[in-house]
Chain A
Amino acid sequence: MADAPARLEEIRAEAQAAIDVAASVAELEDLRVRYLGRKAELTGMLRSIKDLPPEQRGPVGKGGNEVKTALERRLAERIGSLERAELDERLRTDSIDVTLPGDPPPAPGHLHLITETRRAIEDVFLGLGFSVAEGPEVEFDYYNFTALNHPPGHPARMLADTFYLSDDVLLRTHTSPMQVRSMEAQEPPIYLVVPGKAYRRDNDATHTPMFHQVEGLAVDEDITLADLQGVLLEFARAMFGADRRIRLRPHYFPFTEPSVEVDVSCFQCGGTGFLGAARCNLCKGSGWIEILGSGMVDPNVLGFVADNGYDPERVQGFAFGMGIERIAMLRHAVPDLRLLFENDVRFLAQFGS
Chain B
Amino acid sequence: MRVPVRWLREYCDPETDAAGIGDRLDLTGTELERIERLGVGGREGFVVGKVLSAEQHPDADRLRVCAVDDGSGGEPRTVVCGAPNVAAGQTVAVALPGAVMPDGTKLGEAELRGVRSSGMILAEDELGIGPDHGGTLELDDGLAAGTPLADALPIDDEVLELEVTPNRPDCLSVYGIAREVHAATGAPLGDDPTLVETIATGDDQAEDHVAIEIADPEVCLRYTARVYEDVTVGPSPAWLRQRLTAAGQRPISNIVDISNYVMLECGQPIHTFDLDEVRGARIVVRGAEQGETMTTLDGVERAFDAGMALIGDAEGPTGIGGVMGGQVSEVSDTTTRVLVEAATFVGPNILKTSKALNLRSEASTRFEKQLHPENAMAAQRLTSRLMVELCGARLVPGTIDAYPDPQEPRVVELRMERVLGLLGKAICEDEVVGRLESLGFAVERGDGTLSVTVPYWRDSDVQREADLLEEVARTHGLDKLPVTLPARRRAVGRLTPRQRLRRRLEDALRDRGLHEVVGWSFTSPQKLERARLGDLPTPPLGEHAARVSHVLHLANPLSEDQSVMRPMLLPGLLDAARENRARGAGGLALFESAHVYLASGDLDAPEGSPGGAMPAAEGHHLAALLTQAAPGTWRREPVAADFYAAKGLVEAIGSVSGVALEFARGDQPYLHPGRTAVVSAGEHRLGLVGELHPEVADSWDLDGGAVFEMDFDALAAAAPTVETFSDVTSFPVVRQDIAVVAPADVEAGAVRATVLAAGGDLLADAQVFDVYEGEQVAEGNRSLALRLEFQARDRTLTEAEVNERRGAIESALAELGGRLRG
Contacts and interface: CB of A to CB of B under 8 A. Distances in A.
Given A109-B512, A296-B466, A343-B517, A220 B576 contact: no
A132 B424 CA distance: 26
B422 A224 contact: yes
B390 interface: no
* Secondary structure class of chain B's binding surface, majority of residues: loop
B663 to A, nearest CB: 23
A298 B466 contact: yes
Given A155-B368, A224-B422, A304-B609, A250 B29 contact: yes
Q: Is the interface of A mostly helix, strand, loop or mixed?
A: mixed
Contact of A164 (B517, B521, B556): B556
Contact of B486 (A106, A168, A227): A227
B457 interface: no
Identify the interface centre among B464, B510, B602: most chain A CB within 10 Å of its CB: B510
A163 B486 contact: no
Contact of B489 (A130, A189, A230, A296): A189
A189 B27 CA distance: 31
A109 B589 contact: yes
B552 A138 contact: yes
Interface string B562-591: 100100000000001001100101001111
A320 interface: no
A107 interface: yes
A106 B595 contact: no
B494 to A, nearest CB: 7
B513 A299 contact: no
Nearest to B607: A142
A111 B510 contact: yes
A226 B423 contact: yes
Given A197-B521, A248-B478, A249-B29, A344 B583 contact: yes
Given A109-B512, A203-B558, A209-B562, A137 B479 contact: no
Contact of B580 (A107, A137, A345): A345
B516 A104 contact: no
Interface in A110-143: 110-112, 114-115, 119, 122, 125-132, 136-143
B615 A169 contact: yes
A229 interface: yes
B349 A252 contact: no
A199 B470 contact: no
A122 B517 CA distance: 20
Interface string A238-263: 00000000011111101001111100
Interface in B356-380: 368-370
B479 A125 contact: no
Interface residues of A, number: 100
Contact of A166 (B27, B165, B603, B635): B603
A254 B616 CA distance: 26
Contacts of B590: 343, 345
Contacts of A139: 615
Contact of B485 (A136, A197, A227): A227
Interface stretch (B72-80, B240-248, B495-503, B525-533): B495-503
Interface in B466-504: 466-467, 469-470, 473-474, 478-479, 481-496, 499, 503
Interface core residue of B29, B512, B594 (most chain A CB under 10 Å): B29
A104 B555 contact: no
A210 interface: yes
A250 B470 contact: yes
Contacts of B547: none
B483 A229 contact: yes
Interface stretch (A55-63, A146-154, A273-281): A146-154
Interface stretch (B120-128, B323-331, B434-442, B626-634): B626-634
Given A168-B605, A225-B424, 12 more contacts: A110-B510, A155-B368, A203-B558, A210-B521, A224-B423, A226-B425, A231-B486, A249-B478, A251-B31, A343-B517, A345-B580, A346-B585
Enumerate the 9 nearest inter-chain pairs by beta-carbon distance, A residue then B residue, closest first: A153-B348, A226-B424, A224-B424, A252-B165, A250-B29, A168-B605, A258-B470, A166-B603, A250-B474
28 contacts: A103-B633, A106-B630, A109-B513, A109-B591, A115-B518, A125-B493, A131-B496, A137-B595, A155-B368, A156-B167, A166-B603, A168-B605, A184-B611, A189-B488, A191-B488, A197-B521, A197-B595, A226-B423, A226-B484, A234-B485, A248-B479, A250-B474, A251-B31, A257-B466, A296-B466, A298-B466, A316-B422, A344-B583
